[in-house]
Amino acid sequence: MTPTPPLGRRSFLKSSAVAGGALLVPAALAGTAAAATAPQFAHGIASGDPLPDGVLLWTRVTPTPESTPGSGSGPSVEVRWEVATDAAFGSVVASGAVQTGPDRDHTVKVAVAGLNPATAYHYRFSLDGVRSDVGRTRTAPAANADVGKLRLGLVSCSNWQAGYFSAYRHLAARTDLDGVLHVGDYLYEYQAGGYGARGVTVRPHVPATEVLSLADYRRRHAQYKTDPDLKALHAAQPWFITWDDHEYANDTWSGGAENHQPGEGDWNTRKAAARQAYFEWMPVRQGAGGEIYRRFRWGRLAELSLLDLRSYRSKQTTPSNGDPGDPNRTITGDAQMTWLKNGLAGTDVRWKLVGNSVMITPISLGTVESRFLESLGSLLGLPIGSVAANADAWDGYTADRQELLGHLRDNRVKNTVFLTGDIHSSWGADVPIDRSTYWWNGNSVATEFVTTSVTSDNIDDLLKVPPRTLSVAAETALYAGNWHLEYIELDSHGYSVVDVNPQRVQMDWYYLADRLSPTSTSHHAKSLATVDGSQRVRAASGPVA
């Protein structure tokens, strides 16, 4: 290994703001010569995409005061990494070094290989004698292993401006998880004050403008990774992550976005900037063709297919333009649809889990009162009547949905469970081939569990009413018009836990007492399960231990 060359540093490391998080001189170093040279690991550490023999490790280093996120400044440095079987690093099993610099915003990603399956590991990074925090991760079981359990935290829609990430803190405190599944809207692109909690900004975005450039997206990623609860959960568990629209801009499609205006420059330039920053800042593997959809196996128990429902989709229809059932329109793109169908039909695992950023269950709003329709249409992206009002979910791409669900039926694929976010509310449902005939023939071919938002506004917030008041009437109407729905809760914020064993997949919903409090408590609210071979969602006796 080539030794790290000596680096010129400023004579004094002043306190400075890095992407909204204070990058401060540690008290132990203040006023000493060490303060002049000490790098910082201010944005934490993370791991993701575990395989039976390896895992992806991530960090970001600030080697000099000018090396702030998005600045394009600072030296290239060599960051060391270590993986051990113990937290004290008495038994290091893998180590190395990697170069980083302003060309990748001083982020570090290491694909560690040669590890043992189904094994917990600890990892850390270092530069010039300064070490990062220690993270804990684990590898997946061997492909053919008989596995009795997979337990994941499930989260979505974590808007910095709308509250605090207490949901992450509660998941980080659990010692029973095998990982965390984030199904999109990890961050939001809006300007400071652009999208808060019922219109109130709890903590403002940095940069203050809407993010458009590569530097902007880098700074926004950096801000989110200063949140202590997010950092704690990344350090505690490996993550499985896919994106939704706000990692780019609201209601993204392949050729644009609702929140990309003509005066904001070229869409493809903005999209490229968002993608580059994302792959720099997230513990996510990128395919040879740049794709993010990918698949993970957990022994013979389960396989998780993570979807990308933004990069290849057709533009959303509007009430006056477009047909959701047009077979020329797509939400997945042809290549991803083929990959998904082949994977679901061709695997030998018990449970086929799908990390799905937008809801696939068909929904009718025909019995919902008009006072709720605008808020529900905005929140859920569902068709009103026969024309899509804001068809951002699979309901706006019914030809693709019918192709996928028909494939499950025709190939007798059992035990497909969609794990979804996006709509800032909680749902449990059977997924029928035909919603209109479900009430008499029960033609469900899959099930879906939808987690609520970590912080982003939901129905009571949009209506600006107290929780569990007006929204209860909307839930009642939705149940009446959609017999395949087992659970709807439109008001609460929080997280979920998905527990998989050979007999069933169970989802437990946990709700925060107050998303506006950085110390919010949480409570268990609901448990549902789908039993092996049933294709139905039913009540479970209680949360998993």
Q: Residue 52: which CATH number?
A: 2.60.40.380
Phi, psi dihedrals of residue 466, rounded to the nearest 5°: -60, 150
Per residue in 463-514, pLDDT (tens digit) is 999 999 999 999 999 999 899 999 999 999 999 999 999 999 999 999 999 9
Residue 544 covered by a domain: no
Q: How many CB atoms lie within 10 A of CB 44?
A: 22
Are both 76 and 208 inside the same structural domain? no
Per residue in 149-163, pLDDT (tens digit) is 999 999 999 999 999
Residue 487 covered by a domain: yes
Using alpha carbons, select from 40, 64, 60, 39 the residue that is nearest to residue 105.
Answer: 60
Are both 224 and 110 inside the same structural domain? no
Output DSSP code: residue 282: S
Residue 1 covered by a domain: no
Using alpha carbons, select from 214, 170, 150 the residue that is nearest to residue 352.
Answer: 150
Which one of 138, 164, 179 terminates a domain? Answer: 138
Q: Where are the beta strands (DSSP E) in 72-166?
A: 77-84, 92-100, 107-112, 120-127, 130-131, 135-138, 150-155
Residue 545 covered by a domain: no
Biggest CA-to-CA distance, the chain: 77
Cα–Cα dist 225/23, whole Å:
12
Which one of 138, 165, 183 terminates a domain? Answer: 138
Grade residue 529 by pLDDT with cuts at 50, 70 and 90: very high
Residue 390 sits in a domain of what CATH number?
Answer: 3.60.21.70
Say what the pLDDT of residue 35 is.
44
CA 300 to chain centre: 25
Residue 143 covered by a domain: no
Are both 467 and 428 inside the same structural domain? yes
Parallel/antiparallel/unpaired status of strands 351-356 and 302-306: parallel
Residue 6 covered by a domain: no
Are both 82 and 181 inside the same structural domain? no
CA 216 to chain centre: 20
Q: Using alpha carbons only, what angle is made at residue 86 by residues 82 and 91, rounded to the nearest 5 degrees?
A: 65
CA 520 to chain centre: 21
The chain-wide mean pLDDT, for the chain, equals: 90
Residue 11 covered by a domain: no
Q: Which of 95-104, 123-132, 309-318, 431-440 has the lowest average pLDDT?
A: 431-440
pLDDT above 80 for 67: yes
Residue 189 covered by a domain: yes
pLDDT above 60 for 387: no
Are both 134 and 154 inside the same structural domain? no
Per residue in 325-342, pLDDT (tens digit) is 999 999 999 999 999 999
Are both 29 and 54 inside the same structural domain? yes
Q: Give the pTM.
A: 0.92
**Looking at this protein, which amino acid is placed at residue 274?**
A
Q: Where are the beta strands (DSSP E) in 106-244?
A: 107-112, 120-127, 130-131, 135-138, 150-155, 179-182, 238-241
Cα–Cα dist 13/272, whole Å:
33
Say what the pLDDT of residue 416 is.
98
Structure tokens at 413: 């694929």
Say what the pLDDT of residue 33 is.
38
Q: Which domain holds residue 317?
A: 150-539
Using alpha carbons, select from 431, 463, 435 the residue that is nearest to residue 530.
Answer: 431
Per the structure, the count of domains in the chain is 2
Say what the pLDDT of residue 382 is.
60
Are both 278 and 328 inside the same structural domain? yes
Classified as helix, coil or strand, 28 is coil
Q: How many CB atoms lie within 10 A of CB 544?
A: 16
Are both 34 and 89 inside the same structural domain? yes
Grade residue 92 by pLDDT with cuts at 50, 70 and 90: very high
Parallel/antiparallel/unpaired status of strands 130-131 and 120-127: antiparallel
Parallel/antiparallel/unpaired status of strands 179-182 and 150-155: parallel
Q: Is the peptide bond before 207 cis (omega within 30 degrees of 0)?
A: yes
Rounded average pLDDT over 69-87: 98
Are both 117 and 173 inside the same structural domain? no
Are both 185 and 71 inside the same structural domain? no
DSSP string, 522-534: EEEEEEEEEETTT
Are both 285 and 165 inside the same structural domain? yes
Q: Which residue did the predictor score with more confidence, 366 or 460?
A: 460
Are both 502 and 393 inside the same structural domain? yes
Say what the pLDDT of residue 37 is.
62
Using alpha carbons, select from 351, 493, 505 the residue that is nearest to residue 428.
Answer: 505
Structure tokens at 541: 């006796």
Cα–Cα dist 11/543, whole Å:
55
pLDDT above 70 for 114: yes
**CB-based contact 528:538 (threshold 8 Å):** yes
- Indicate the burial class of 240 (C-beta count within 10 angstroms; 0-12, 13-18, 19 or more): buried
Which one of 117, 138, 159 terminates a domain? Answer: 138
